[in-house]
Amino acid sequence: MLWFLFGGNILLIISLYMYLAERKEKWRPSSFIMNAIMTPVTLFALCTGFLFTYIHPGFLIETSIAAGVLGLSCGLLFGSLFNFDSAMTGACNGLMAGIMTPMLGEMAGRSPIFLVFTQLLFYLLLYYFRFGARLP
C-alpha cells in the first residue's frame, strides 16, 4: 500500500514540474520562483524519507541515502527550470531534507498520524502551486 503512495507522490511531482515548466516564462516575482523551487522539493524529500522509514524499518542508513538521492534529483529537476544557482539551491535543500527525514521518522516512532499529516501537507501545497498560484 505504501508503495502506491510513493508512486503517486512521484506522479504528482512530475505533473507539477511539467505544469511549472510550461509556465516558467510568465513568472515575475523572484520570491515565487524560490518558493516554487524549495517547497515541493523539501516536501517530496520529507514524504519520501518517511515512507521509506515505514516500508523498511531498521535500515536507517539505506533509507537516508535513498531519500537524499531522490531529494537531490528532485531539487536539480525543479532548479533546472531557471539557472545554475537555483539548481544548486534546490539540490542542497532536497539532499538535506532527504537525509534528515528518516531520522525524524524513527524519532517519531513511525507514527501513522505523522505520515498522514505530512502526506496531506504535501498534497495541499502541491494543490496550491497548481491551482492557487495565479500566473498570468
Task: List the Cα angle 126/131/132 in 5-degree steps.
Answer: 90
CA–chain centroid gap for 55, Å, is 18
Q: Left, alpha or beta for 110 (phi > 0: left; psi -120 to 50: alpha)? A: left
Q: Show me where the domains of the chain are located.
A: 41-131
What separation in angstroms does the CA of 80 have from each of 45, 46, 53, 111, 125? 17, 20, 29, 35, 20
Distance between CA atoms of residues 107 and 8, nearest Å: 25
Tell me the pLDDT of the chain (136 aa) as tens digits. Answer: 788 989 999 999 999 898 888 877 766 667 777 888 889 999 999 999 999 999 998 899 999 999 999 999 999 999 998 888 889 999 999 999 999 999 998 898 888 899 999 999 999 998 887 777 665 5
